[in-house]
Amino acid sequence: MPKTSSKTNPARELVFGDLWEFDPAPETADPKLKPRYDLFINGSFVPPRAGKYFATINPAHETKIADIALADASDVDAACIAAQKAFTSVWGKMPGKERGKYLYRIARLLQDHAREFAIAETLDGGKPIKESRDFDVPMAAAHFFYHAGWADKLEFLAPGKRIAPHGVVGQVIPWNFPLLMLAWKIAPALAAGNCVVLKPAETTSITALKFGEICQEAGLPNGVVNIVSGAGETGAAVIQHPLTTKVAFTGSTEVGKSIMRSLAGTDKKMTLELGGKAANIVFDDAPLDQAVEGIVNGIFFNQGHVCCAGSRLLVQESIADAVLAKLKRRITVLRVGDPMDKNTDLGAINSREQLAKITDLVQSGVAEGAEMHDNGCKLPAKGFFFRPTIFTKVSMSHRIAREEIFGPVLSILTFRTPEEAVEKANNTPYGLSAGVWTDKGSRILKMSTLLKAGVVWANTYNKFDPTSPFGGYKESGFGREGGKQGMLDYLRVV
């Protein structure tokens, strides 16, 4: 029974008990999955030449969903040849206005199949259905709509210069936003007139291969989009293939570095969007409740599997206690559990491997003397789950303050002056994003010039829009995705 009287509650704390429990509210529509997914090459689904498949599992239940084709170098070769052929015979010659029509059609089809894609995304990746439904799928469609508009206006991207597509683009995407990252990559590439060979992440191939079905439904010419599923070796084959004149990668800094090494000496164009360890900076004049909301959104969105996650909270010392108290109270009402439940705020960690990595880093935080707080909620017996976790008493040299955790773990540091805040925020090898919370407009402008980060959010966090370029500084990569800058990365000056 919940406590009901404030007399029994002398500490003046609020009671977030079980007086009004929510019943399960599962999303039950049919994601229309196949038991086995083949490679999408030259407009049709073909089995891998070596005949190998691997299982993809639901991280919330640890059950197998489907068999996914494993592409080897010969499959990648076939895909690249198909893409090259499509580029020279159809897509590269097609007027931009016509290419745009295909992109609009893809965008509308994604909207038509939105529910199906959202459920498939949640099944395969573990993210809460409300995020795949309200964020991933609509944003993916928005990227196709936006870039469709560019297709016949490319000449305005670089006035006075002549620009042309690269040809075949090799793309490798991560598992945190499978369909959305696919859209970020494919939409600008196609709008610019390139053809694509894309490798989805090993644990989340389903929506990418379902996207192949969308391409068929849209009547996209054969070979313009090719999807080759597999693991690291498949990705390396895509990136190193002689026909891919431009490569785009989103993923870990470690893999990004090895890609750069492998491409040294070639004239391939490259954009890399890598890791981050973003500082979310809260000044003492910030609207605290909304800042807390932004902190929560910054680190617990998609279980913290976000490269631009606000994983380091820098809070002004004078308000540190107040912010921590509000933050602790806020995370007690976060609901962790079945990703398919419409009320779930934090779903499953994407894989056993990632859960182990998060656990290891959290243990290092405790061992190094930081103080850990979590919301103490019950976790499902099966599946990969991790409680929303906050660390206080963190210093800049702790591993949890330096390494990307890629999980629902926040490290809180304090600062005294704006200069110290900038110093600490920039004291990282990464530079993808940052957040500033203050009521003072001039301070926002000043901070945004001093922070070495590709994106600086002011009084908000994790806001995305196809029109806004996204990308990093330093070890967070180079090149931009979205907006005019993102388009230019898929074109060359001739």
Partner 1 sequence: MPAAKAPTSLRRLFDEIGTVDQVGIEERVAKFTTRSLKKNSKVFGLRLAVSMVDLTTLEGKDTPGKVASLCQKALRPHDVGDIPPTAAVCVYPAMVKHARKHVGGTQVKIASVATAFPSGQAPLKTRLAEVHAAVKDGADEIDMVINRGAFLSGEFGRMQDEIAAVVEACGQATLKVILEVSELETYDNIRAASFLAMRVIRPGDFIKTSTGKTSSNATLGNNQVMLEAIRDHFLATGIPIAMKPAGGIRTAKQALHFLIAVKETLGDEWLNNRRYRFGASALLNDLVRQLEKERTGAYQAPWNFSEATEGY
Instruction: Name residue 391's beta-bridge partners.
Output: 372, 411
If you write DSSP's letter for every residue of 379-396 in order, what string do you get?
A: --SSS-----EEEES--T
For 490, the 3-state DSSP assignment is coil
> Cβ closer to partner 1: 342 or 402?
342
Report residue 410 as tokens: 């926040």
Whole-angstrom distance, CA of residue 468 vs CA of residue 481: 8
Binding status of residue 460 toward partner 1 by CB under 8 A: yes
Q: By CB under 8 A, how many residues form the interface with partner 1? A: 36
For 458, the 3-state DSSP assignment is strand
Minimum distance of partner 1 from residue 26's CB (angstroms): 9
Sites for partner 1 among residues 6-45 (CB under 8 A): 6, 9, 12-25
Q: What angle do CA 303, 272, 478 make, to 5 degrees?
A: 110
Minimum distance of partner 1 from residue 78's CB (angstroms): 44
> Cβ closer to partner 1: 4 or 417?
4
Q: Is 307 a catalytic residue?
A: yes
Given 294, 304, 339, 479, the residue binding partner 1 (CB under 8 A): 294
Given 62, 134, 353, 465, the residue binding partner 1 (CB under 8 A): 134
DSSP class of 26: B
> Cβ closer to partner 1: 23 or 267?
23
Binding status of residue 377 toward partner 1 by CB under 8 A: no
Handedness of CA 345, 62, 399, 423 (dihedral sign): negative
CB 466 within 8 Å of CB 188: no
> Cβ closer to partner 1: 342 or 446?
342
Binding status of residue 4 toward partner 1 by CB under 8 A: yes
Q: Is 273 a catalytic residue?
A: yes
If you write DSSP's letter for every residue of 412-439 in order, what string do you get?
A: EEEESSHHHHHHHHH-SS--SEEEEE-S
Binding status of residue 89 toward partner 1 by CB under 8 A: no
Residues 313-332: x/- map of binding to partner 1 (CB under 8 A)? ------------x-------
Q: Which of 227, 250, 247 is nearest to 239 (CA)?
A: 247
Catalytic residue among 80, 215, 307, 308: 307
Instruction: Single out the segment in contact with partner 1 by CB under 8 A; choices: 144-152, 286-294, 298-306, 470-478.
Output: 286-294
Phi, psi of 442 (to 5 degrees): -65, -30
> Cβ closer to partner 1: 19 or 396?
19
Whole-angstrom distance, CA of residue 5 vs CA of residue 456: 45
Given 63, 74, 88, 290, the residue binding partner 1 (CB under 8 A): 290
If you write DSSP's letter for every residue of 329-380 in order, what string do you get?
A: HHHHT--BS-TTBTT-SB---S-HHHHHHHHHHHHHHHHTTPEEEE------
Minimum distance of partner 1 from residue 320's CB (angstroms): 15
Given 155, 289, 321, 371, the residue binding partner 1 (CB under 8 A): 289
Catalytic residue among 27, 116, 131, 273: 273
Given 127, 130, 199, 312, the residue binding partner 1 (CB under 8 A): 130
Binding status of residue 267 toward partner 1 by CB under 8 A: no
Q: Which of 266, 461, 450, 329 is nearest to 13 (CA)?
A: 329
What's the burial of 443, exposed, middle or buried (CB within 10 Å: 0-12/13-18/19+)? Answer: middle
Minimum distance of partner 1 from residue 299's CB (angstroms): 16
> Cβ closer to partner 1: 188 or 337?
337
CB 131 within 8 Å of CB 177: no
> Cβ closer to partner 1: 108 or 329?
329
Q: 235 CB contacts (<8 Å, ≥6 apart)?
A: 172, 199, 249
Sites for partner 1 among residues 179-238 (CB under 8 A): none
Instruction: Single out the segment in contact with partner 1 by CB under 8 A; choices: 239-247, 256-264, 288-296, 412-420.
Output: 288-296
DSSP class of 264: T
Minimum distance of partner 1 from residue 336's CB (angstroms): 15
Given 426, 448, 459, 485, the residue binding partner 1 (CB under 8 A): 459
Minimum distance of partner 1 from residue 301's CB (angstroms): 12
Given 72, 77, 293, 368, the residue binding partner 1 (CB under 8 A): 293
CB 33 within 8 Å of CB 205: no
Given 123, 288, 362, 390, the residue binding partner 1 (CB under 8 A): 288
Residues 332-371: x/- map of binding to partner 1 (CB under 8 A)? -x--------xx----------------------------
> Cβ closer to partner 1: 80 or 331?
331
Residue carrying the six token digits 């409740």:
289
Q: Which of 210, 205, 212, 183 is nearest to 30 (CA)?
A: 210
- Interface positions with partner 1 (CB under 8 A): 2-4, 6, 9, 12-25, 130, 134, 285, 287-291, 293-294, 325, 333, 342-343, 439, 459-460
Q: Point out the residues that are catalytic.
A: 273, 307
